[in-house]
Amino acid sequence: MTTSRTRSEQVSTPAADLVLNGSRVPLDGVPPHTSLLDWVRERGLTGTKEGCAEGECGACAVLVARPTPEGSAEPTEWVAINSCLVPVAALDGQEVVTVEGLGSPEDLHPVQREMAERGGSQCGYCTPGFVCSMAAEYYRADRTPRAASGVDGSGVDGSDSVDHDCGPNGFDLHALSGNLCRCTGYRPIRDAAFALGAPDAHDPLVSRRSFPPPDVPRTRIRSGDEEFVRPADLGEALEILTRHPEALVLAGSTDLGVAINLQGLRPPFVLAVDRLPELRELHVGDGDIRIGAALTLSEVERGLAGHVPLLDELFPQFASPLIRNAATLGSNLATASPIGDAAPVLLALEASLVLTGPSGDRVVPLDGFFTGYRETVRAADELIREIRIPLPLAGTTAFHKVAKRRFDDISSVAVGFALDIADGTVRRARIGVGGIAATPVRARATEAALEGMRWSPEPVARAAAVLATEGTPISDMRASDRYRRAMLEQSLLALFARETGEESAERPGSAQEATS
Amino acid sequence: MSHLSARPENPVVGEALPHESAVLHVTGRALYTDDLHPRTKDVLHAWPVQSPHAHARVTQLEVCAAYEIPGVVRVLTAGDVPGVNDSGTKNDEPLFPDEVCFVGQAVCWVLGETLEAARLGAAEVRVDYEPLRSIVTIADAIKADSYQGATRTVRRGNAMSALARAAHTFTGEITFAGQEHFYLETHASLATVGDDGRVFVQSSTQHPTETQEIVAHVLGVGAHEVTVQCLRMGGGFGGKEEQPHGFAAVAALGATLTGRPVRVRLNRTQDLTMTGKRHGFHAAWRVGFDHDGHLVALQTTLTSDGGWSLDLSEPVLARALCHVDNAYWIPDVEIVGRVARTHKTSQTAFRGFGGPQGMLVTEDIIGRCAPLLGIEPHELRRRNFYTDGQTTPYGQVVHQTERLVRAWDQVTSTAELERRRGALAGFNAAHEHVKRGLAITPVKFGISFNFTAMNQGGALVHVYRDGTVLINHGGTEMGQGLHTKMLQVAATALGVPLSRVRLAPTRTDKVPNTSATAASAGADLNGGAIKDACEQILARLRPVAAERMEVPVEDVRFEGGEVRAGERSMPWAELVHTAYLSRVQLFAAGYYRTEGIHWDPEIMHGTPFKYFAYGVAAAEVEVDGFTGAYRTRRVDIVHDVGDSLSPLVDIGQIEGGFVQGAGWLTLEDLRWDESDDPERRGRLTTQSASTYKLPSLSEMPEELNVALLERAHEEGVVYGSKAVGEPPLMLAFSVREALRQACAAFGPTGHSVVLDSPATPEAVFWALDEARRAYRPAVPEPTELGHPVQVTQV
Ligand SMILES: Cc1cc2nc3c(=O)[nH]c(=O)nc-3n(C[C@H](O)[C@H](O)[C@H](O)COP(=O)(O)OP(=O)(O)OC[C@H]3O[C@@H](n4cnc5c(N)ncnc54)[C@H](O)[C@@H]3O)c2cc1C
Ligand code: FES
Ligand code: FES
């Protein structure tokens, strides 16, 4: 302990700074709660706007340079994030591009030009954020034009099958699902997105992709009594955690950023773990899949590449790309929110967590992880290191998220199903549910009602009725208790209908057929 | 063709141009009020102390502790107000109250060197309250007889006896929700004090003149001591018509007391909890139809939820009462309206200004009654259209109904409604758990402020010696493209290229006594004023040109930056320079007032509107029977904007208005805590962006076709155009009615669907669930669902 203390406190930490629109700017003395948004605006870069300060509107979107997943053609990519949520201190050593850095009135960026010419702005307040989200998708290395099709954004008729969410230029509209516009009704924004060509090879942001991503330096920024620390590795992190019981662990800051902005949370000591290499591994083995707790949802999605169909149903319904580019899977479990979306899915998959602390690692089944409302078995000096999903996976899986809005909304109930059905009989059923109790729970009575039963209408309807009685859902602004119960019941009926082909109930995000 | 509406050859109006600030928007260079403070030295930041009670008396206010916080500079309280302690015009909105009337109301404001200091200071202010009885819902207000302002009635004929004679009569009720503006830019003001003590307030306001007046009365000074400027707004939608004044006054008061610039900027939660919203309404109605489905009588009482103070509730109510008829001829009517007083934010203007609420009542009635009459809803609507020469219940003669019919027919044919209705029936028959609905609805919306005096506009046009032009007008820019249109109007009127004309931000020291930029009337009023100013200047230039070119004065024409007469021409700039040397005045103040309108608010009778804007929309939705979730598959719109001043802007207004209307009717769900828990009662439970959801890209119709109605010249309005800001919002009734029809498809023919508003997935689920149960008549009517009373045939 003594030696490592010496290590972390004596290794000199270089002065903190970041590269903002190509220029290096010092970060000395920024308080840990100062967001990137407030910081750039105080510097006079007021193009980036605050619409909500809680990750919902995207007016604050900016681009950051990030490492690409292993095996990518280029080492670096530009991703868009919500600058209102992330502490600027967390970006020590990083590269940030704001709307001002993309182009100027005299020299418009292609995204800016399309948005301006097509009426993509009315009041213009949401526009810088849209421009940044759109630019990230514009620069996505694997964005490739689709084979010629009739989509021009101005309306389609006839009966051709059309994917409304993907442009002829390969632009995925979901890239904009974390941006709100109150004025335009979105059509011109969609047109602008679908009109974009490929970036010029000499575009500096394209060139930047072929160089290594910015290093993640060890950071130590003090501001009065407050301190922000980013350790170099897991060992150092655990040691700091032991020494500083008051430390607040920070990963993508999508939960903590909201607490800072809306609830006035002012942590005196912040410990950033989101870039610890030991928490960022991904491994698909024979017996299990291991997912580093500090990987963002975007990284997990790409890294798993479809290995876990149930998670693939989850990702597009989890927040927005802006959030998924920051939010980590481990934190989504660490917060133990009863309405977190990962838990129901991972409960159904019978995942377990590896907790790591001063005395080493321990493996805890997720099922036993949550102990009460926002409480878990994790000790204060432990971190979640990884999430393990046992293999083989169940054959029939589904994720049902019920919310007011189709995308980027918090669940009123969420149900993850993992069923093994053989010879028309349910051999094994695992069901995880969020939104009906103080913690995410397994629907054990329903599991029992299904196991050993025929996979046919009557037993399924009976089990669905049992599912409706699980937990103790409440009424709040998102939904009534009655609706929550009804949705539990319906979720199993919907799964059955989908599986037995009785009904091809459309799933959000799936390609849609054209108008009748 | 009138002089005002006639267009010259090759006009700049009518060109499809992007927003005049588009390049600044997309590069982040466009400045909004709160972008100014990082550019201003020594700014103080303000933070409110907000009431936790829906209704309480402030028994003690102890501010000393706030000063213990480093950086706290000043706490503003009632004692600091040298003038009138009121943020409104009706003296019912104390700026620093001793009785709080809604959760979130500001009791006092703390100024700090940083926002953080102000926030921490505010947390230290001790306020003692004595809680009082509170009223949260309209139902409670009705029960308690809690009203404010006057009760108004629009009456024609004898609705009671007509109902008694009608072949079919139905009765019902509906309570429907308001809507949060959720302009992306929250309220913001920055006040500075000049060397002579005059106050300069930059404010995100739709009504700079009234902001100026309120600031002046709070400070106890004349209006000439206060200048208000609005650079631009990041959205307004009516939410910045009456609501900015108090915040501007706080900034101005702080600035005069400290001598330093003061910034007031609400964060989203403050904005949501402190500022007014669209009024929710309750309506109880009796309606009568004849054997053929013609409306014969309507008796209805509308109660709006005004919140704690009057604000604009009375004019909003008036407009609601004047739009219950929508596009339909109803011979005998009695429409009563009243404003409930509740302990909530003071509800205010919101795009449509009561019109949408009035129309919702009738569209809901038709949607519910059609199946009971056995008539297709589209047929029932069409059958009841006004024809020219009929009068509205408030006595205005209806014109141009041919336009409504043309728009209806055009949508019907271009959207292939006949064919698609057939296809849809097939789809619904083949799918048990997914149903589609297709509905077409009309809009008729009156243009002009009901309050006649507000129908005036002013402008200031400067022609500089080099021939360039700077215009100023009384309207504000909130994204609606008013400035774009005004530039086009000036360039057209002066016959110069658009590049010669620039526009300066709206300021009360340039154009005084302006009306709010509201009621969709910005272009009509200010365009008329700009045109007037330009014509005054041309009238002075014409003799100079005639003399220089040696032609008769009448032959002089201004076009494309040239001054022409027959074969002769000279450049505009040269003429301007010559005129200057000849001592000709090259600037002018323009003025416009709308002619031919009058209104008696006491008896709710007259011709309040210059004209009606018409539109028609057809929407197709698909509903998931498991969850009630839905998608809008296709929307077709034909809308009447007259001869468009700026087609790209107009289409933007139509699409944006439509989506905003669909948000109000389907997704946006304002919830207030109605429990008796004193800690919670009256709280807005959807007080952040994570709980109050706006339409996002995924709510956009997958296919959206918008056409401007052709052959739509509007006589007597600037360059033949029509107002466009508000009317398209109401095209969204098509979505609500399509949802109703999709729900109906889950039940037996003839089932009347009662649909809550907003029609959230949950509301749709219960509606379709009820439709399904209608197959099993043994099940009692599920009145416990909180639905309004089922439509009954009596
Ligand atoms: C706009 C918006 C939309 C959202 N939508 C959804 C949604 O659809 N579904 C959903 O489920 N959630 C949603 N969320 C919630 C949020 O994104 C997730 O909970 C996210 O996974 C948190 O990850 P983070 O890395 O950003 O957490 P942070 O904010 O960095 O940290 C959250 C907590 O986790 C702890 N923590 C972080 N890493 C570790 C670790 N390795 N070991 C132990 N503790 C750790 C921290 O101490 C902290 O208390 C949304 C949030 C926002 C702002
Ligand atoms: S300000 Fe709304 S997402 Fe950041
Ligand atoms: S242009 Fe106003 S919010 Fe998008």
Q: Which residue of B has its CA nearest to A162?
A: B702
Closest by Cβ to B479, choosing from A98, A122, A128: A122
Classify residue A405 by its DSSP letter: S
Q: Is B27 helix (H, G, I), strand (E, B) or coil?
A: helix
The 3-state secondary structure of A230-293, one letter per residue: ECCCHHHHHHHHHHCCCCEEECCCCCHHHHHHHHCCCCCEEEECCCCHHHCCEEECCCEEEEEC
Residue B572 lies in a domain: yes
Tokens read off for B713:
């010249």
Instruction: Identify the nearest ligand to the CA of A409 by its number.
Output: 1
Q: Are A407 and A177 in contact (CB under 8 A)?
A: yes
Verify whether the Cβ–Cβ distance B32 to A182 is below 8 Å.
no
The Å distance, Cα A78 to ligand 1 centre, comes to 22
The ligand that comes nearest to the alpha carbon of residue A326 is 1
Residues B707 and B679 in one domain: yes
Task: Look at residue B558 and give its three-state secondary structure.
Answer: strand
ipTM of this model? 0.96
Residue B33 has pLDDT above 50, yes or no: yes
Query: What is the distance between the alpha carbons of residues B27 and A133, in angstroms, rounded to a whole number?
Result: 14
Residues with CB under 6 A from ligand 1: A 54-56, 248-256, 258, 273, 279, 293-294, 318-319, 323, 326-328, 330-332, 334-335, 340-342, 383-384, 410
Nearest CA in chain A to B427: A516
Tell me the best of B184, B204, B659 to mutate to test the pocket of ligand 3, counting ligand atoms within 8 Å of each CB and taking the most.
B184
Mutation choice for ligand 1 from A35, A255, A317, A412, CB with most ligand atoms inside 8 A: A255
Can you name the residues that pair with B286 across neighbouring β-strands?
Answer: B171, B299
CA distances from B20 to A123, A376, A421, B34, B106 (A): 11, 55, 62, 21, 37
For the segment B17-35, the average pLDDT, to the nearest whole number, is: 98
**Which of B546, B564, B593 lies at the terminal end of a domain, its last residue?**
B593
pLDDT tens-digit map of B520-556: 889 999 999 999 999 999 999 999 999 999 999 999 9
The number of the ligand nearest the C-alpha atom of A123 reads: 3
CB-based burial label for A212 (10 Å; 0-12, 13-18, 19+): exposed
The one-letter code for the residue type at B743 is C
The whole-number pLDDT of residue B782 equals: 37
* A482 burial level (CB within 10 Å; 0-12, 13-18, 19+): middle
Please compute the mean of the pLDDT values over residues A174-182 and round it to a whole number: 97
Six token digits for residue A324: 């998924």
What is the phi-psi region of residue B628: left when phi exceeds 0, alpha when psi lies from -120 to 50, beta otherwise? left
Q: Is B515 left (phi over 0), alpha (psi -120 to 50) or beta?
A: beta
Does B441 lie in the same domain as B484? no
Report pLDDT for A513: 39
How far apart are the CA of B767 and the nearest CA of chain A, in angstroms?
12
Please indicate whether, in this complex, the C-beta atoms of A402 and B627 are within 8 angstroms of each other: yes
Q: What is the predicted pLDDT for the residue at B696?
A: 96
Is the Cβ pair A126, B184 closer than 8 Å?
yes
Q: Report if residue B11 sits inside a domain.
A: no
Q: In what order do the strands lie in the sheet with A282-284?
A: A282-284, A288-292, A383-390, A352-357, A360-365
**Is residue B756 included in any domain, yes or no?**
yes
Domain boundaries, chain A: 2-13+216-272, 17-208, 277-390, 396-499
Contact: A121, B22; criterion CB under 8 Å: yes
What are the beta bridge partners of residue B110? Answer: B47, B75
Q: Which of B636, B696, B760 to mutate to test the interface with A (most CBs of A within 10 A)?
A: B696
Residue B136 Cα, gap to closest chain A Cα (Å): 16
**Interchain proximity B31–A46, CB inside 8 Å:** yes
What value does the mean pLDDT take over residues B321-339? 98
Cβ of A132 less than 6 Å from ligand 2: no
The reply to whether residue B685 touches residue A476, judged by beta carbons under 8 angstroms, is yes
Q: Judge contact between A76 and A134, C-beta under 8 A.
A: no
Active site residues of B: 726
* A441 strand-pairing partners: A433
Predicted pLDDT at B788: 36
Same domain, B331 and B391: yes
Q: According to the model, what pLDDT value does residue B777 have?
A: 59
Candidates A98, A123, A186: best to mutate against B (most CBs of B within 10 A) is A123
Please give the model's pTM, rounded to 2 decimal places: 0.96
Residue B603: inside a domain, yes or no? no
Regarding whether B254 and B374 lie in a shared domain, the answer is no
pLDDT reading at B193 higher than 80 = yes
| Atom 38 of ligand 1, residue of closest alpha carbon | A331
Q: What is the CA radius of gyration of chain B?
A: 27
Confirm if A142 and B656 have CB atoms less than 8 A apart.
Answer: no
Q: Does A165 contact ligand 2 (Cβ within 6 A)?
A: no
Say how far apart CA B11 and CA B559 lie, in whole Å: 8
pLDDT in tens, B208-250: 999 999 999 999 999 999 999 999 999 999 999 999 999 999 9
Mutation pick from A43, A50, A60, A125 vs chain B, by most beta carbons of B within 10 Å, is: A125
B467 in the same domain as B410:
no
Smallest CA separation from ligand 2 atom 3, residue: A55
Question: Residue B134 is which amino acid?
Answer: S
DSSP secondary structure letter of residue B452: G
Task: Please choose, from the candidates A304, A307, A344, A301, the residue with its C-alpha nearest in 3D space to the C-alpha of residue A323.
Answer: A301
b or e along A305-319 (b: 16 or more beta carbons within 10 Å of the residue's beta carbon)? eeebbbbebbbbbbb
> What is the rounded distance in angstroms from the CA atom of residue B486 to the CA atom of residue B650?
13
Ligand 2 pocket member A57 (CB < 6 A): yes
Q: Which residue has the tokens 């203007």?
A: B349
Contact B626 A41 (CB under 8 A): no
Instruction: Judge if B660 and B763 occupy the same domain.
Output: yes
Contacts of A26 (CB under 8 A, 6+ apart): A15, A16, A17
What fold characterizes domain A17-208? Ubiquitin-like (UB roll) (3.10.20)
Residue B692 covered by a domain: yes
Residue type, A339: I
* Least Cα separation, residue A490 to chain B (angstroms): 5
Residue B302 and residue B199 share a domain: no
What are the structure tokens assigned to B89, written together? 């015009």
Domain boundary among the residues B559, B593, B627 is at B593
B599 occurs within a structural domain:
no
- Same domain flag for B198 and B336: no
Name the DSSP letter for residue A212.
Answer: P
CA-based nearest distance A78→chain B, Å: 18
The answer, yes or no, to whether residue A9 has pLDDT greater than 70, is no
Contacts of A188 in chain B (CB under 8 A): 652, 655
Closest to B345 (Cα-Cα) out of B314, B309, B316:
B309
CATH 3.30.465.10 fits A277-390, yes or no: yes
* CB of B30 less than 8 A from some CB of A: yes
Tokens for A385? 């290191």
A105 vs B23: CB contact, 8 Å cut-off? yes
Taking the CA of residue B183 as reference, the ligand 3 atom at the shortest distance is: 3
Which among B655, B688, B765 has CB closest to A54?
B688
The domain boundary, picked from B593, B621, B638, lies at: B593
Ligand approaching nearest to the C-alpha of B234: 3
Share of chain A above pLDDT 70, in %: 92
Query: Under DSSP, is residue A192 helix (H, G, I), strand (E, B) or coil?
Result: helix
Mark B561-598 as b/e (b = at least 16 C-beta within 10 Å): bbbbbeeeebebbebbebbbeeebebebbbbbebeebe
In the Cβ-directed half-sphere of B214, how many Cα atoms lie within 13 Å? 30
Domain count, chain B: 3
Which residues, judged by CB distance below 6 Å to any ligand atom, belong to the binding site of ligand 3? A 121-127, 181-184; B 184, 235, 479
φ, ψ dihedrals at B707, nearest 5°: -125, 145
Give how far B277 is from chain A: nearest CA, Å. Answer: 15
Q: For residues B304 and A296, give the distance between their C-alpha atoms in angstroms, rounded to a whole number.
A: 47
Give me the architecture of the A396-499 domain, per CATH. 2-Layer Sandwich (3.30)
Q: Which residues of A touch B685 (CB under 8 A)?
A: 476-477
Angle between helices A110-117 and A127-138 (to 10 degrees): 130
Nearest partner of B244 among B210, B198, B273, B219, judged by Cα: B210
Name the class of domain A2-13+216-272.
alpha beta
List b or e across A118-136, with b for residues whose CB sees 16 or more CB atoms inside 10 angstroms: bbbbbbbbbbbbbbbbbbb
* CA nearest to A356, candidates A339, A381, A392, A376: A381
Q: What is the mean pLDDT of residues B581-606?
A: 96
Chain B residues with CB-CB distance to A402 below 8 A: 627, 629, 761
Per-residue confidence (pLDDT) for residue A163, from 0 to 100: 75
Please provide the DSSP assignment of B397-450 as one string.
BP--HHHHHHHHHHHHHHTTHHHHHHHHHHHHHH-SSEEEEEEEEEEEEEES-S
**Does residue B460 share a domain with residue B446?**
no
Per-residue model confidence (pLDDT) at position A11: 56
Single out the residue of A365, A349, A342, A332 nearest to residue A289, CA to CA: A349
If one compares B615 and B786, the residue with the highest pLDDT of the two is B615
What does the alpha-carbon distance between residue A237 and residue A248 come to, in Å, rounded to a whole number? 12
Model confidence band, residue B790 (pLDDT cutoffs 50, 70, 90) = very low
Q: How far off is chain B from A70, nearest CA to CA, in Å?
A: 32
Does the beta carbon of B418 lie under 8 angstroms from any beta carbon of chain A?
no
Structural domain range at position B333: 281-450+608-793
| Predicted pLDDT at A13 | 73
CB-closest option in B23, B38, B433 to A46: B38
Q: What does the pLDDT average to over B490-499?
A: 98
CATH code, domain carrying B627: 3.30.365.10
Task: Tell me whether residue B124 is in a domain.
Answer: yes
- Is residue B147 classed as helix, strand or coil in its secondary structure? strand
- A344-367 burial string, b = 16+ CB within 10 Å, else e? bbbbbbbbbbbbbbeeeeeebebb
Within-domain flag for B503: yes
DSSP category for residue A404: S
B466 and B425 fall within a common domain: no
pLDDT, tens digit, for every residue of A301-324? 999 999 999 999 999 999 999 999
CA nearest to B286, candidates B352, B208, B220, B368: B368
